[in-house]
Chain A
Amino acid sequence: MSELQAGRTGEALSVARVEARSQRSRYLDILIAFAAFGVLASLPLFFGSKALLDFVIRCSAFGLFATSLNLLVGYTGMISFGHGMFFGLGAYGFGLIMQRTGVPVPIAFVATLVITAVIATVIGAICVRLKEIYFAFVTLAFQMLIHSTILSWASLTGGDQGLRGGIPRPVFLGIDLSNHVHLYVTSCALLVIGLLLMRQIAQSPFGYTLRMIRDNANRASFIGIDVWRAKLTIFVLAALFASTGGIVMALFVSGAYPEFAYWTISGEGIFINMLGGVTTFLGPMAGTVLLLILNDTVTRLTEYYGIVLGIVILFFAIGLRKGLMDFVVEWYVQRRDSAEERS
């Protein structure tokens, strides 16, 4: 048997093993997702605070965005500095379709995702050929290109004023998105469904292909994986979830603003991932909650938001050298191991 064939059987075995494991954990994931949605959706029954609901809606928007970015950064090793463009595309696409055509919300939702997929495929086809820092820069350039287009195409997008005048939200299937609680529950549902789908992608054989590309792209291509196609696929998939985050944001603020497509959104996404940790699936979610809390408290306490945030970043980057969830998980594993040694 040649070496190549040996490699291939080994690969088939490990894929089978991975599949068996993910089959079992899939039910657990669905169960957890249902429970999480139940808890989130019942919050308004116990807490009347509008600020809390607003907070969770914002967490949904940024959580979808940050977790989708982690599919690229953490799982595939593609540091995108332009992922925010899809957040902006989602917000503008959805807002424009609702304002101009008056189609029902679900159709506008699907249409926005289709537009995002088409644009992400074109941009991705160009970007994923490049590696490391060049990939980061070309995505950044596309982000700024889209931002400039939004600013200069004022007749369509409202230029630097953004999409104003509110996004119409007609009732569909008994859901009235202009009702705050309805909007809240819908955001939670989108978040939980989005996270569940992304979790499935991450745990699928395809997800393991991505990890392999991250760890050794050459080896992946030697055993017959089309690296370009796999990278493009995850680029487009991640764009769809980021776009969904943008849609939630557009619904929340009832508009879309150029800042949504500015590169700083991408920077914040990277930062959220770092803050929460990139090696655990829920790390970006933890990072989102942490950043939003930090945001709200720091801006309330001081006008020098940058200094405080900067010092926190330094603490994570130089002090911990990893994100919060990574730190917690490692600490837990170490504790468990030392406990086993003692017993």
Chain B
Amino acid sequence: MDIDALTGCLASSACLVTQTTSGFIIGMLLFLVAVGLTLIFGVLKVVNFSHGAFYMFGAYFAMTAYQLSGSFALAMFCGAGGTALLGLIFERVFMSRVYGADVLMQLLVCYAFVLIFDDVVRMVWGPEFRSMGMPAAFQVMPLLIAGGVVPPYYLLLIGVALVMAVILGLGLARTRLGKVIRAAAHNPGMVSALGINTGLIYGGVFALGGMLAGLAGALAAPVRSLTPGMGFSVLIESFIVTVIGGMGSILGALIGALLIGMIRSFGSLGFPLFTEGLMYLFMVVVLVIRPTGLFGKEVA
């Protein structure tokens, strides 16, 4: 425990800016992963335990695309698009077979794929740590805000995540497709009776969720090291985010992700060894007070 470091940081504007930015980065990446998780749960009623693997694939796809082409935009596109495709295949071939089955069966199918995907990555890209490296376009002087150092890439990352949040929020609330998706979440039988292909919607939502996780992985690739199994801690953290925010709530995912980001960022100063513990403690406290999360609807 190092409370002095924490209070010292809270008193200094430079440190405050640096830590808040880093909290935002963690939070925004988590949001992208968690919002996919929460969408899939909201519509398909499936807890996708293999979601972290999509984050991992996003990062590896982006790294490979970047190393082959040298284009950062193409890397992001491959990361997001590749995982979307993977999500679609995964949902149609495997997950769709266990809808309506025991929750345990769904968890097991996902658990099996966590094991398989990690080994596939180990086979293809090797077991050691890899890194994509920061694209040349972002290798410029960091910005100084109130004495705090903020790399320009961080701003891009935060911007992209916020844009995705707005697109998702508005898309679900305002567009026709959004209405169909919400209807399918609410009453799939009625939706399919109206002549809408629910299988297509399920596959699409799963692909969208996979794409968001893959985008998060691709965005993280320049600033994090890549390793098989990297999806796991992200998965656990995004679970915490969805549970804190309330499963199925996009706003909840955003707020939960930012809370966890800040806890991680500032907690690492005050409690370097117990940072993860703080997150779990926070989750327990939230669940004790509100069993369905901050923005979750009461379940009967």
A residues touching B (Cβ–Cβ < 8 Å)?
73, 79, 126, 129-134, 137-138, 140-142, 144-145, 148-149, 151-152, 154, 159, 263, 267, 270-271, 274, 278, 304-307, 309-311, 313-314, 316-318, 321
Contact = CB atoms under 8 A, between A and B. Distances in A.
Interface of B is mostly: helix
Contacts of A307: 115-116, 119-120
A312 B126 CA distance: 23
Given A145-B277, A152-B273, A152-B274, A130 B104 contact: no
Given A317-B98, A321-B101, A131 B299 contact: yes
Interface in B266-300: 271, 273-274, 276-277, 280-281, 283-284, 287-288, 291-292, 299
Q: Which of B47, B114, B276, B277 has the most CB of A within 10 A?
A: B277
B155 interface: no
A152 B275 CA distance: 9
B240 A141 contact: yes
23 contacts: A73-B104, A126-B288, A133-B47, A137-B283, A138-B284, A140-B236, A140-B239, A141-B283, A142-B280, A144-B277, A149-B274, A152-B274, A267-B111, A274-B108, A304-B119, A304-B122, A307-B116, A313-B115, A314-B109, A317-B109, A318-B98, A318-B109, A321-B105
Given A141-B280, A309-B115, A79 B108 contact: no
A78 to B, nearest CB: 11
A318 B120 CA distance: 21
B112 A313 contact: yes
Cβ-closest 3 pairs across A and B = A148-B277, A306-B115, A152-B273
A129 to B, nearest CB: 7
A267 to B, nearest CB: 6
B34 to A, nearest CB: 13
A137 B243 CA distance: 8
Given A134-B292, A142-B284, A79 B247 contact: no
A145 B281 contact: yes
B88 to A, nearest CB: 18
Contact of A310 (B103, B115, B123, B271): B115
Contact of A313 (B108, B273, B276): B108
Given A130-B287, A141-B280, A311 B112 contact: yes
A241 B98 CA distance: 32
A305 B118 CA distance: 10
A309 B112 CA distance: 7
Interface of B: 47, 94, 97-98, 101, 103-105, 107-109, 111-116, 118-120, 122-123, 236, 239-240, 243, 247, 271, 273-274, 276-277, 280-281, 283-284, 287-288, 291-292, 299
A12 B195 CA distance: 51
A141 B97 contact: no
A318 B276 contact: no
Given A154-B273, A310-B115, A317 B105 contact: yes
B33 to A, nearest CB: 16
Contacts of A274: 104-105, 108
Nearest to A125: B288
B104 A270 contact: yes
B57 to A, nearest CB: 15
A343 to B, nearest CB: 36
A140 B47 CA distance: 14
A50 B247 CA distance: 50
Given A79-B103, A304-B123, A321-B101, A310 B116 contact: yes
B58 to A, nearest CB: 19
Contacts of A154: 273
Nearest to A134: B291
Nearest to A263: B236
Given A148-B274, A313-B112, A318-B98, A306 B236 contact: no
A130 B109 contact: no
Contacts of B247: 133
Q: Which of A132, A310, A317 has the most CB of B within 10 A?
A: A317
A44 to B, nearest CB: 35
Given A126-B288, A134-B291, A317 B236 contact: no
Contacts of B47: 133
Contacts of A141: 240, 243, 280, 283-284, 287
A138 B286 CA distance: 10
